[in-house]
């Protein structure tokens, strides 16, 4: 299933998934729901106690009845207090634990997905799944659930009690509910749109600020300040206007609800008062009705808020569970074949075809064998397919035709653990994870000790460099901003691969220029890393290809030339032409030409 | 802020006036209710007298008289309540509207002021301030202030109402008033304490969420490596730790809620219990009427929410003050580079640049340029070469007056740049930086960044000159393609050529290329170099580069060392006469 297909998931899809995940926690869910219901019940009882205090105690001048009613009120208040605390905790405990589990589950799932998934999915969206969507789901599980149960129970309970007290007066006082509900729904509809507009406008404001503040030097270099200030004034004003619109809307809604509240009191007093000497009504009833009014107004307004939360929460659930339903394109075998030890490191591509998209072939019928211990350079223009060959050997993707094998075993038959112990790569950009340098080296082989990691660096000849960093091996770095230069990052990356010590190594050569201090170090370390293992270098510089045992020239998805550097130069083909061009430019300005521009 | 409040005083007055009306109407309803109930019960103290009878009964009679005596007293009272409710609702809406408007106005004005100020500040300020910091001044801090300001009039109105209610209750029965209301100071105290403790906990949750985004972003960016080394479990472990942290902090928030929120319901209930038992006893004693008893209950309910609001405002006060101080710190910052009062225009000329005994330091005591003198004749291209930290990039930043020099003089076509109009100076010095900043706007607008009024064919010519036209035309929307949208991304070399086109379009007298080719590979550099060669023709150019091939574009090479000119000449001359030049080049050779 691709990322696109997710939009087709049915509406209740996410909810079913959530219920299935919550099912094993049923006792906690039960406790949460029960305490919530009991709390609503205790809150509902209090006005009844007041009614009895007024009617039986005050009206009939009965001290005992007044005492009884006070006692009942006190007990109800205390139990409401305890139950509110219990339910607050119980509901949150269920919701938060669910959230934690869902986060871990979703992230673990992301780890199983294949590179083809990441080619299509943007990082921003995945982060949103893990953060904003999760917050929406928490709101759904905690506040929306609490409010929904409470509001429904209060509304239903109040209605029952009111009818029990006096059905005539109930009909009279509940007559304000329909206009209130209609007004609330209309208000919600308009204010929903108004708040959407506010969100858009504030986003405009933030984007403009972000862009200007981060590009401030360019802004001033091009004397754009006044233009920016004028433009920002417009955006800022639009945001103010959008905010004001929401205020205007509530300025229309609020007086109406407040007036309805007053109207209800007037109705109760008027009709209650007329019937007060009759059979049904009493002063206590009138007082109880006035208090119960709050129990009707509040939940109705709450319900409309719940509606929004349920909608966005359900949408988030659908998105998250949709993501969980995406199957990895590259899967480990159910019964992995054993790899004969020690691994020799022979790689075969047998009639391999592949394309990232179904209708755009990238590799066409590639057939080649790389002998154990051979050092091979892949050379060719951008888009020729050299990086793709490397990725297929890593099994980041499965070929659409033919197969790739290691020591005669199809990669599809090997367990991921075996595969990754055997074949590893050094990416072009020298990626660093947040943490210390040492942790970054240990990433290559987590069971290695710090001493082993440092020994590896010594053997690679970069120990002095590591020690020269501000805090040596303990220097902290992050994947975004780091104090290390491109070349230095590359060094750490090489150390990582050296510690992993894989029989087969794939190296995506750096295209960017490296600072003078590290260039020599890097070349030296690379030489040591490459010796004694099968190595496939995606080469961007001809000087690298020159030093390899074998050069494969890739063009339009095929291997067009194959041989040693010497042989290919002598053959006078594509490679020889490239080389001639390079050596002539080499002699006049000392620059090293790349075989292509941007790399993969 | 005070200035802003002065401008908004009419809405403040209106807000306050309606706050008064609102609290009056709001207090009126329970009083009317009490009167009505007492009228119905006809208790010993009677409907004619009773509480505020002197005010209520004439009003009721007026309504009855107005209806031509068709209404009974009960009906008249009901109509009065309806009227009071209407007034209350309207006053609430108007009061709220003006409170919100004032606060939004203030937020917008402060944000505009902040933005303008930041635009006017000089480079030294950007050097020491991170974008993220400025962003949080302009969003989170302003929001904090707005929330605080909007609550002030609302709380004032609530305070008015509470005071009124208190006096009404006092008039009825002082003992009952005090004993029923004695829990409210406690509610206030607890609210303040709750929000004071809640804030750090929710801030920790927010921090946890941003850590989580960091882990996910990093994991996605390094997805290939994670798979290459089979380190999925390790990554899951990392996430688990962060997710557990969020869980723990959320549970801490839950614990606070569990302790405090039930108290917010319990304490008013205690007050109600006092009314039921003590108040009930007073009714039986005949000291309080049943109507007044119900009124006390209503007042008590009315006060719960305002007291909590007040507590919240007190708790947020400290944060709002901190935020205001932070915003104020930006607003009072003064630009260090300012246009002189009678600044003049650039005279006609072809861009002769002179540095005359220039002394400059970013921080006092650490001079970067010492007595730097250099004359670049009009139309000439000069390359500045030297080891890292010798001050070559500083020279580039001084010419457009990003910083002012400590002593000496810099002039263009014979005029001291400090005497020139700042905008004109900067428009005449074209800069191409090492890290090309493109705005998320169309390619056209990115090129026209310095000259919005530029014609389409001018833009196309600039793009052609910078050798950017070809790839722009191949982009999905040609010149209208938006940078960074729908997967449209530019390579380093392409971005650089857009930046060159941007500089060229301004037709600057002087062009500065500050490490413009350092971040691209050799082949790309070749393309940029041929673009540069055409752009530089007949234009005074200052080149700063690590690359020999770029340096070779210059007519003259200036070797710099420790903020001074060490040697000048053509590349060949310097090679033969300066050993230092050979050394510097030796280092460069490795680079290129």
pLDDT, one tens digit per residue, over B470-515 is 778 877 778 888 776 544 567 667 788 888 888 888 888 898 888 7
A281 conformational bin, left if phi > 0, alpha if psi -120 to 50, beta if neither: beta
How many A/B residue pairs have CB atoms within 8 Å? 408
For residue A29, the Cα-to-chain-centroid distance in whole angstroms is 26
Q: How crowded is the C-beta side of A294, counted as CA atoms within 13 Å?
A: 14
Mutation choice for A interface testing from B33, B86, B115 by most A CBs within 10 A:
B115
Check B548 against A589: CB less than 8 A apart.
yes
Report the pLDDT value the prediction gives residue B446, as an integer from 0 to 100. 84
Q: Give CA–CA dist A130/A342, Å, rounded.
A: 42
SS (H, E, C) B385-442: ECCCCCCHHHHHHHCCCCCCCCEEEEEECCEEHHHECHHHHHHCEEEECCCCCCCCCE
CB burial of A384-395 (b: ≥16 within 10 Å; e: otherwise) equals: bbbbbbbbbbbb
pLDDT of residue B479: 84
Contacts of A594 in chain B (CB under 8 A): 521-524
3-state secondary structure of B350: coil
Hey, are the CB atoms on B277 and A228 less than 8 Å from each other?
no
Taking alpha carbons only, the member of A218, A207, A216, A228 closest to residue B126 is: A216
The whole-angstrom separation of Cα A150 and Cα B366 is 68
Calculate what percentage of chain A has a pLDDT beyond 90. 14
Residue B591 pLDDT level (bands cut at 50, 70, 90): very low
Mutating which of A273, A453, A497, A512 best tests the B interface, going by the most B Cβ atoms within 10 A?
Answer: A273
DSSP A8: G
State how beta strands A435-436 and A476-477 pair.
Answer: antiparallel
Q: Please answer yes or no on whether A515 and B591 come within 8 Å at the CB atom.
A: yes
pLDDT of residue A589: 44
Q: Does A333 touch chain B (CB under 8 A)?
A: no
Say if the Cβ atoms of B89 and A259 lie within 8 Å: yes
Q: Which two tokens stand for residue B5?
A: 């409040």
Instruction: Give the residue on A whose Cα is nearest the Cα of B228.
Output: A424
Q: For residue A446, which of B239, B242, B233, B225 has the smallest C-alpha distance?
A: B233
pLDDT surpasses 50 at A231: yes
Average pLDDT over residues B408-421: 88
**Structure confidence at residue A588 (pLDDT):** 44
What value does the mean pLDDT take over residues B406-415? 88
Cα(A85)–Cα(B263) distance, integer angstroms? 9
Contact B21, B89 (CB under 8 A): no
CA distance B503 to chain A (A): 8
Task: State the Cα–Cα distance between residues B545 and B536, nearest whole angstrom.
Answer: 15
CA distance A373 to chain B (A): 20
Show which of residues 537-576 on chain A sit within 8 Å of chain B, judged by CB atoms. Answer: 540
| Chain-chain contact of A427 with B224 (C-beta, under 8 angstroms) | yes
Measured from the Cβ of residue B584, the count of other Cβ atoms closer than 10 Å reads: 20
Terminal CA-to-CA distance of chain A, rounded, Å?
26
A190-199 pLDDT, tens digit each: 888 888 888 8
* Interface mutation vs chain B, best among A220, A328, A382, A598, most B CBs within 10 Å: A220
Single pTM value for the model: 0.77
Interchain contact, A590 vs B108, CB within 8 Å: no
Nearest Cα to Cα of residue B575 among B588, B565, B585? B585
pLDDT value, residue A284 = 79
| Cα atoms in the 13 Å half-sphere on the side-chain side of A402 | 19
State the Cα–Cα distance between residues B432 and B28, nearest whole angstrom: 72
Tell me: pLDDT of A590 over 70: no
Q: Are B236 and A104 an interchain contact pair (Cβ–Cβ within 8 Å)?
A: yes
Q: Residue B397's closest chain A neighbor by CA?
A: A221
Give pLDDT, residue B435: 67
Q: Which two tokens stand for residue A103?
A: 């986060």
Distances in whole angstroms, Cα of residue B259 to Cα of each of A31, A93, B128, B198: 18, 14, 44, 11
What does the block give as tokens for A350? 């047998």
CB pair distance less than 8 Å for A112 and B85:
no
Q: Name the residue facing B225 among A89, A223, A427 (closest C-beta).
A: A427
Global ipTM: 0.81
Which among B47, B317, B288 has a CA at the least distance from the CA of A54? B288
Q: Is A132 on the interface with B (CB under 8 A)?
A: no
Q: Which two tokens stand for residue A4?
A: 């696109």
pLDDT at B47 > cutoff 60: no
Distance from CA of B150 to the nearest CA of A (A): 12
pLDDT at B151 over 80: yes
Burial class of A203 by CB neighbour count within 10 A (0 to 12, 13 to 18, 19+) = exposed
How do residues A342-384 score in pLDDT, each as one tens digit?
888 889 999 999 988 777 788 888 889 998 888 999 888 767 7
Measured between CB atoms, which of B36, B119, B283 is closest to A269?
B36
Contact criterion met (CB below 8 Å) for B282 and B288: yes
Chain B residue numbers with beta carbons less than 8 Å from the beta carbon of A212 are 115, 118-119
Q: Say what the pLDDT of residue B520 is.
A: 58
> Cβ of A174 under 8 Å from any chain B Cβ?
no
Bigger pLDDT: B159 vs A217:
B159
Q: Which of A67, A96, A236 sits opposite B108 (nearest CB)?
A: A236
**How many CB atoms are located within 10 Å of the residue A85 CB?**
20
Of A283, A513, A597, the CB nearest to B591: A513
Query: A223 touching B, CB under 8 A?
Result: yes
**Would you state the structure tokens that stand for residue A570, as one six-digit string?**
């002598």
pLDDT surpasses 50 at A591: no
> Do B269 and A63 make contact, defined as CB atoms within 8 angstroms?
no
- Token representation of residue B535: 């752009």
DSSP one-letter string for A425-482: EE-TT----SEEHHHHHHTT-TTS-HHHHHHHHHHHT-HHHHHHSTTGGG-EE-SSS-
| A291 vs B255, B297, B519: nearest CB | B297
Cis peptide before A342 (omega within 30 of 0): yes
B447-474 confidence digits (pLDDT tens): 888 888 888 888 888 888 888 887 788 7
Location of structure tokens 């961007």:
A540
Q: Answer whether residue A8 shows pLDDT above 50.
A: no
What residues contact residue B226 under an 8 Å CB cut-off, 6+ apart? A111, B219, B232, B235
Phi and psi at B156, nearest 5°, equal: -60, -45
The predicted-structure confidence for A536-580, as pLDDT tens digits, reads as follows: 988 877 777 888 889 988 888 888 888 888 888 888 888 888 777
Smallest CA–CA distance, residue B237 to chain A, in Å, is 9
How far is B362 from B124, CA to CA, in rounded Å?
8
CA distance A72 to B177: 23
* Residue corresponding to tokens 């540095």: B355
Which pairing describes strands A423-426 and B367-376: parallel, antiparallel, or unpaired? unpaired
Assign B175 a pLDDT band (cuts: 50, 70, 90). Answer: very high
Contact A559, A536 (CB under 8 A): no
Confidence of residue A4 (pLDDT cuts 50, 70, 90): very low
Could you tell me which chain A residue has the CA closest to the CA of B124?
Answer: A217
| Calpha distance A260→B440 (Å, rounded) | 50
Nearest CA in chain B to A256: B89
Q: What angle do CA B34, B38, B40 make, to 5 degrees?
A: 120
CB atoms A255 and B86 under 8 Å? yes
CB B515 within 8 A of CB B397: no
* Residue among A35, A44, A54 at smallest CA distance from A77: A44
Q: Which of B236, B246, B283 sits opposite A111 (nearest CB)?
A: B236
Sign of CA dihedral B42, B48, B50, B55: positive
b/e code A259-287 from CB counts within 10 Å (16+ = b):
bbbbbbbbbbbbbbbebbeeeebbbbbbb
- Characterize the bridge pairing of strands B407-412 and B415-416: antiparallel
Q: Which helix (H) or strand (E) holds B272?
A: helix B232-274
Q: What is the pLDDT of residue B270?
A: 93
Q: Chain A residues with CB inside 8 Å of B63's CB? A: none
User: What's the distance, CA A432 to chain centroid?
Assistant: 20
Helices and strands per DSSP (H, E), number in chain A: 22, 12
Cα gap A67→A307, rounded to integer Å: 42
The pair of structure tokens assigned to B59 is 């009003």
From the candidates A58, A61, A501, which should be mutated to test the interface with B, based on the most B CB atoms within 10 A?
A58
Number of residues that make up chain A: 600
Minimal Cα–Cα distance from B11 to chain A, Å?
A: 14
Predicted pLDDT of residue A515: 55
Question: Among partner residues B40, B247, B591, which is closest to A283 by beta-carbon distance?
Answer: B40
* Cβ within 8 Å, pair B33-A290: yes
* Cβ–Cβ gap A479/B240 under 8 Å: no
Pick the closest to residue A150 from A76, A84, A51, A53 (CA basis): A84
Cβ separation of B422 and A243 shorter than 8 Å? Answer: no
User: CB-side exposure of A58: number of CA atoms within 13 Å?
Assistant: 35
User: Which tens digit of pLDDT belongs to each residue from B532-583?
Assistant: 888 888 889 898 876 777 777 888 888 888 888 888 888 878 777 877 777 7
Instruction: Give A209-213's long-range contacts (Cβ < 8 A, gap of 24+).
Output: A209/B115, A209/B134, A209/B135, A209/B138, A209/B139, A210/B131, A210/B135, A211/B439, A211/B440, A212/B115, A212/B118, A212/B119, A213/B118, A213/B131, A213/B134, A213/B135
With a CB cutoff of 8 Å and minimum separation 6, the contacts of A494 are A426, A460, A462, A522, A525, A526, A529
Asked whether the beta carbons of residue B93 and residue A240 sit closer than 8 angstroms, the reply is: no
Nearest to A287 among B107, B255, B294 (CB): B294
């Amino acid at each position: 299933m691709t990322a696109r297909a997710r939009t087709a998931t049915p509406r209740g899809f996410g909810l079913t998934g959530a219920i299935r995940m919550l099912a094993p926690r049923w006792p906690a869910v039960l406790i949460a729901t029960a305490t919530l219901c009991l709390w609503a019940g205790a809150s509902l009882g209090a006005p009844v106690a007041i009614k009895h205090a007024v009617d039986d105690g005050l009206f009939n001048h009965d001290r005992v009845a007044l005492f009884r009613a006070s006692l009942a009120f006190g007990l109800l208040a205390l139990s409401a207090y305890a139950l509110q605390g219990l339910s607050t905790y119980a509901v949150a405990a269920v919701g938060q634990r669910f959230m934690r589990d869902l986060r871990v589950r979703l992230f673990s799932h992301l780890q199983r997905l294949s590179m083809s998934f990441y080619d299509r999915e943007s990082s921003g969206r995945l982060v949103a799944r893990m953060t904003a969507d999760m917050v929406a789901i928490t709101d759904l599980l905690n506040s929306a659930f609490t409010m929904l149960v409470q509001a429904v129970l209060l509304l239903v309970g109040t209605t029952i009690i009111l009818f029990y007290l006096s059905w005539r007066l109930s009909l009279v006082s509940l007559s304000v509910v329909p206009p209130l509900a209609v007004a609330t729904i209309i208000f919600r509809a308009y204010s929903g749109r108004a708040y959407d507009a506010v969100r858009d406008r504030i986003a405009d404001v933030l984007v403009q600020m972000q862009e200007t503040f981060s590009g401030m030097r360019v802004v001033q270099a091009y004397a754009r300040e006044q233009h920016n200030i004028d433009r920002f004034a417009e955006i800022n004003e639009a945001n103010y206007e959008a905010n004001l619109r929401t205020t205007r809307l509530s300025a229309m809604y609020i007086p109406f609800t407040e007036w309805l509240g007053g109207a209800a009191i007037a109705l109760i007093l008027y009709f209650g008062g007329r019937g007060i000497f009759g059979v049904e009504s009493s002063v206590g009833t009138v007082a109880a009705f006035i208090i119960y009014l709050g129990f009707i107004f509040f939940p109705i307004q709450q319900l409309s808020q719940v509606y929004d939360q349920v909608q966005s929460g359900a949408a988030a659930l659908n998105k998250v569970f949709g993501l969980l339903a995406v199957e990895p394109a590259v899967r480990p075998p159910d019964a992995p074949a054993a790899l004969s030890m020690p691994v020799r490191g022979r790689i075969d591509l047998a009639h391999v075809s592949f394309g990232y998209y179904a209708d755009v072939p990238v590799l066409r019928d590639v057939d080649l064998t790389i002998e154990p211990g051979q050092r091979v350079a892949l050379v060719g223009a951008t888009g020729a397919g050299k990086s793709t060959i490397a990725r297929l050997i890593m099994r980041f993707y499965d070929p659409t035709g033919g197969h790739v094998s290691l020591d005669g075993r199809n990669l599809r038959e090997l367990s991921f653990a075996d595969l990754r112990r055997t074949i590893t790569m050094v990416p072009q950009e020298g990626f660093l994870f947040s943490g210390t340098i040492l942790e970054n080296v240990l990433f290559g082989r987590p069971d290695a000790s710090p001493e082993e990691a440092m020994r590896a660096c010594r053997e690679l000849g970069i120990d002095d460099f590591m020690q020269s960093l501000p805090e040596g091996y303990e220097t902290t770095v992050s994947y975004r901003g780091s104090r290390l230069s491109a070349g230095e990052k590359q060094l750490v990356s090489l150390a990582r691969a050296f510690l992993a010590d894989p029989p087969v190594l794939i190296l995506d050569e750096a295209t960017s220029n490296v600072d003078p201090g590290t260039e020599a170090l890097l070349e030296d370390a690379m030489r040591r890393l490459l010796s004694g293992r099968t190595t496939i270098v995606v080469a961007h510089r001809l000087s690298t290809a020159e030093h390899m045992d074998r050069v494969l020239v890739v063009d339009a998805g095929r291997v067009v030339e194959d041989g040693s550097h010497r042989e290919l130069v002598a053959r006078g083909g594509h490679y020889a032409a490239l080389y001639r061009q390079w050596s002539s430019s080499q002699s006049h300005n000392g620059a090293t030409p790349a075989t292509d521009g941007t790399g993969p | 802020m005070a200035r802003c409040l002065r401008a908004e005083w009419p809405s403040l007055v209106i807000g306050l006036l309606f706050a008064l009306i609102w609290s009056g109407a709001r207090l009126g309803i329970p009083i009317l209710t009490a009167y009505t109930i007492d009228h119905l019960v006809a208790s010993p103290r009677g409907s004619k007298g009773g509480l505020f009878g002197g005010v209520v009964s004439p009003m009721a009679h007026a309504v009855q008289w107005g209806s031509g005596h068709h209404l009974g007293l009960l009906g008249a009272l009901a109509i009065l309540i309806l009227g009071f409710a209407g007034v209350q609702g309207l006053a609430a809406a108007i009061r709220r509207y003006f409170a919100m408007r004032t606060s939004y106005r203030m937020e917008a004005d402060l944000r505009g002021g902040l933005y303008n100020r930041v635009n006017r500040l000089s480079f030294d300020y950007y050097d020491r301030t991170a974008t993220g910091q400025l962003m949080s001044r302009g969003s989170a801090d302003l929001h904090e202030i707005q929330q605080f300001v909007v609550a002030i009039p609302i709380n004032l109105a609530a305070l008015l109402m509470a005071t009124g209610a208190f006096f009404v209750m006092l008039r009825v029965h002082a003992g009952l008033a005090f004993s029923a209301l004695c829990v409210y100071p406690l509610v206030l105290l607890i609210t303040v304490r709750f929000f004071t403790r809640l804030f750090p906990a929710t801030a920790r949750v927010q921090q946890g969420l941003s850590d989580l985004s960091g882990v996910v972003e990093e994991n996605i960016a390094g997805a290939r490596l994670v798979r290459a080394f089979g380190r999925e479990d390790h990554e899951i472990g990392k996430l688990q730790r962060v997710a557990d942290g969020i869980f723990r902090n959320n549970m801490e928030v839950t614990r606070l809620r569990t302790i405090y929120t039930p108290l917010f319901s319990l304490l008013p209930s205690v007050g109600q219990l006092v009314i039921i038992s003590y108040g009930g006893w007073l009714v039986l004693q005949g000291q309080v009427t049943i109507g007044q008893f119900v009124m006390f209950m209503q007042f008590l309910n009315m006060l719960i929410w305002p007291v909590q609001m007040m507590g919240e405002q007190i708790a947020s006060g400290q944060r709002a003050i901190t935020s205001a101080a932070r915003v104020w710190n930006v607003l009072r910052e003064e630009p260090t580079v300012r246009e002189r009062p009678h600044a003049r225009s650039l005279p006609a000329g072809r861009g002769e640049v002179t540095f005359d005994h220039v002394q400059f330091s970013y921080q006092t005591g650490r001079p970067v340029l010492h007595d730097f003198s250099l004359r670049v004749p009009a139309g000439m291209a000069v390359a500045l070469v030297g080891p890292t930290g010798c001050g070559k990039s500083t020279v580039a930043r001084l010419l457009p007056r990003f910083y002012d020099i400590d002593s000496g003089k810099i002039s263009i076509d014979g005029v001291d740049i400090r005497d020139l109009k700042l905008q004109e100076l900067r428009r005449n010095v074209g800069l191409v930086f090492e890290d090309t900043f493109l705005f998320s706007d169309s390619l056209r607008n990115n090129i026209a960044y310095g000259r919005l009024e530029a014609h389409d064919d001018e833009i196309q010519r600039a793009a052609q000159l910078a050798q950017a036209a070809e790839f722009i035309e191949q982009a999905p929307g040609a010149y209208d393609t938006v940078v960074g949208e729908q997967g449209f991304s530019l390579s380093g070399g392409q971005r650089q050529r857009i930046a060159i086109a941007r500089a060229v379009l301004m037709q600057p007298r002087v062009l500065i290329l500050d490490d413009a080719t350092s971040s691209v590979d050799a082949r790309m550099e070749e393309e940029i170099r041929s673009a540069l060669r055409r752009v530089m023709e007949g234009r005074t150019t200052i080149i700063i580069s690590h690359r020999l091939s770029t340096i070779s574009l210059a007519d003259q090479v200036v070797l710099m060392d420790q903020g001074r000119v060490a040697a000048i000449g053509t590349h060949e001359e310097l090679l033969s006469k300066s050993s230092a030049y050979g050394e510097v080049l030796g280092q460069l050779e490795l680079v290129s």
